[in-house]
Amino acid sequence: MIHLDPQGLALADLLAIAREDAAADFTAQARQRIDEGHRLLVKLAAEGTPIYGVTTGLGAAVDTLVAPVQANIPLGRAVGVGRLANRQELRAMMAARLAGLAQGRSGISPGAAQALLALLNSGVEPDVPLIGSLGESDLAPLAHLSLALSVPLTGKDGLALVSANAASVGLGALLVAQVQRALEALLAALALSCEGYRANLSPFQPWASRLRPAPGQTEQSAALLQLLAGGELADSPRRLQDPLSFRCATVVQGAAQQALHHLHELIELELRSGADNPALISEEALVLATANFDSTHLALVAESLGLALNRAAACSAERIAKLLSPASSDLPRFLIARPGHVGMAALQRTSSALVAQIGHLANPLPAVTVPVADRVEDYAGQALAVVDKTRQLTERVLWLASIELIVAAQAVDLRGELRLGQGTRQIHDTVRSQVAHLDQDRPGSADVRVLSAFISTYGFSIASAATTAGR
């Protein structure tokens, strides 16, 4: 059972709710705060205090002194299109909104808050299209979600349910976990490629990071060396200097890890924050108009993460190309010894196609959007759109890392007897548990699909442990 309280929700707890179907409940403190916020709302409204969305219209209709029908707020804003949120995404969105409600700043009635909690715990999966939010509150997806509640909406309930970026935050939390898996796979692929290529490990030694400690470089270099520890590679490099896709890899992947860390921090900030507009502050008896629904910070960090992953992907694709080239690797062309067979040549085409798509998805969304609500809403943070395109980008990075792992494992096999590092031996064994050595042509698509599915589900625990130990 995950407990929701005003101190906030840890990202790990949200992932337990979303991915492991953990149940949730409000703590007594959260219930008290929700009740206090609602009581304040009722009191101020009865006193004639102007309250946006309660005693006035919404958006451009703020100048209309007519209390909106709260049930109509989600009803009229359920305008989403596109793919439907899957089970994990739905649960992540609900968990994120419940974490916000537990702050007690929304003015929502205890009954409506409990209804959303009950929806989460019931396992019901409403149809929620994911295109329609501009990132100034995820109005459209949260409106679709709210239509599944079977409780009367009064006071500020309708507005409280939709006026938050819970879709961006919830899907952002899932993105953090997805990117971590992809980066673990890239680290494992780099380590195995170093073994197969017989790379020079000099750029990863501690002194290199001490001379210029770029963000994340020290940790990634230490993690890589730990995976290679116990092997013979450190004593038997083939070249004095390798291509930059090898030499610079821990700098590039370190930058991606730093970008991921930043997104992780911001998601947890959101999960312990009150982003409602207006906010009800019971200890001050205050109703406060805010702009805490703006998602610019989330969008920019997710954009940065996509750009960093794009660079890591470019290095991965180049390492694949070097392993496949006899002029660079001193191995059989396309890593197949049997004449007349394609070997792994065609996989390079797939990696090239993936890098092109990753580069396209890494392009930032425009800062200028078409204004809405009679031009009152004339700016948009666009976090949900950025999170979703970064999700698609990350999916492709994982496919690419899977290809590099398959190619690197083949290169290791063709080297003959090698004393691999303890970590790289486990990585090689993991790859071989899912994908057989290639001695004659077969459809490579199935190999990539099987390995990427395995990584998505289980990750590379050895790479994860090395990363943790390197911090």
Is the omega angle on the peptide bond into residue 332 within 30 degrees of 0, that is, cis? no
At residue 135, the pLDDT reads 87
Q: Give the type of residue at 142.
A: L
CATH number attached to the domain at 2-163? 1.10.275.10
At residue 139, the pLDDT reads 93
10-residue averages of pLDDT along the chain (471 residues): 95 97 97 96 90 81 76 90 97 98 96 97 96 91 96 93 95 98 97 97 93 93 96 89 96 97 97 91 91 93 98 98 95 88 91 98 89 78 95 98 98 93 96 94 93 91 59 48
Show the tokens assigned to 311. Answer: 């660079």
Backbone φ and ψ for 83, nearest 5 degrees, come out as: -65, 150
Beta strands in 13-158 (DSSP E): 24-26, 81-84, 129-131
3-state secondary structure of 377: strand
pTM (two decimals): 0.94
At residue 466, the pLDDT reads 61
Q: Which residues pair with 2 in a beta bridge?
A: 24
Backbone φ and ψ for 202, nearest 5 degrees, come out as: -55, -45
Q: Which homologous superfamily does the CATH classification assign to the domain defined by 173-458?
A: Fumarase/aspartase (Central domain) (1.20.200.10)
3-state secondary structure of 397: helix
For the chain, what are the domain ranges? 2-163, 173-458
